[in-house]
Chain A
Amino acid sequence: DTEVTQTPKHLVMGMTNKKSLKCEQHMGHRAMYWYKQKAKKPPELMFVYSYEKLSINESVPSRFSPECPNSSLLNLHLHALQPEDSALYLCASSQRQGETNYGYTFGSGTRLTVV
């Protein structure tokens, strides 16, 4: 079982809908990430949160809005998406640089389809 839990596993939404993706980890990691992965492509970094503060935004459109309510939770709020936003959305967490076991743990992902 993965130690990073993502819900839902599958999501179909219309272009006018508002939905949220959720990610939870209980490993004490202080950095959390959102990645977007299109079919047959590598994951692309979207956002990085470090100690619950947004540290990196890779020029992601504003229709994607991240939120980190506490050190264990990471949300991605979706609004007015386009069909080309359909993808696998992966959440990950890691220890901070300089700490031991600086590995990245990924969740199973949410498969999003925008219709």
Chain B
Amino acid sequence: AQKITQTQPGMFVQEKEAVTLDCTYDTSDPSYGLFWYKQPSSGEMIFLIYQGSYDQQNATEGRYSLNFQKARKSANLVISASQLGDSAMYFCAMREDGYNKLIFGAGTRLAVHP
């Protein structure tokens, strides 16, 4: 069974600073994908970044980067130069390639202060 763990219920960061949101996962499938989504109060799930289990390099998308440490089974999201609009709920999710299911962690609520 797969499992996603986000241990930070809430995080605070000052505007323009960097912040790391933690995510660990557990799977026995050697082929899997890891995702991060942002969910503002409006409810829409916004895709941020994807890392495949066989990808050699850490994924980056603009201000978002994924610190992928396969041996530790961690996939932390790094947001550089935080903006007020980054305040939202952030979910880490995983899909095992043998199953067409995307499973979410509990989420981390990020608050960016001016």
Q: Using CB atoms and an 8 Å cutoff, list the residues of chain A in contact with chain B.
A: 2, 31, 33, 37, 41-45, 48, 50, 55-56, 88, 90, 92, 94, 96-97, 102-109, 111
Q: Is the interface of A mostly helix, strand, loop or mixed?
A: strand
Q: Which residues of the other chain, A, contact B42 by a CB distance below 8 angstroms?
A: 108
Residues A103 and B50 in contact, CB atoms below 8 Å apart: yes
Q: Which residues of the other chain, A, contact B107 by a CB distance below 8 angstroms?
A: 41-42
Query: In the assembled complex, how far is the CB of residue B45 from the closest CB belonging to chain A, in whole angstroms?
Result: 4
CB contact under 8 A between A55 and B43, given known A103-B50, A104-B35? no
**CB-nearest residue of chain B to A55:** B100
Q: Using CB atoms and an 8 Å cutoff, list the residues of chain B in contact with chain A.
A: 33, 35, 37, 42-47, 50, 91, 95, 97, 100-107
**CB-nearest residue of chain A to B44:** A108
**CB-nearest residue of chain A to B33:** A102
Residues A97 and B100 in contact, CB atoms below 8 Å apart: yes
* Distance A96 CA – B99 CA, assembled complex (angstroms): 10
Residues A2 and B100 in contact, CB atoms below 8 Å apart: no
Between B33, B104, B107, the greatest number of chain A beta carbons within 10 A of the residue's beta carbon is seen for: B104
Q: Which residues of the other chain, B, contact A45 by a CB distance below 8 angstroms?
A: 101-103
Tell which of A41, A102, A108 touches B43, judged by Cβ atoms closer than 8 Å: A108
CB contact under 8 A between A88 and B102, given known A97-B97, A103-B50? no
Query: In the assembled complex, how far is the CB of residue A111 from the closest CB belonging to chain B, in whole angstroms?
Result: 7
Query: In the assembled complex, how far is the CB of residue A50 from the closest CB belonging to chain B, in whole angstroms?
Result: 6
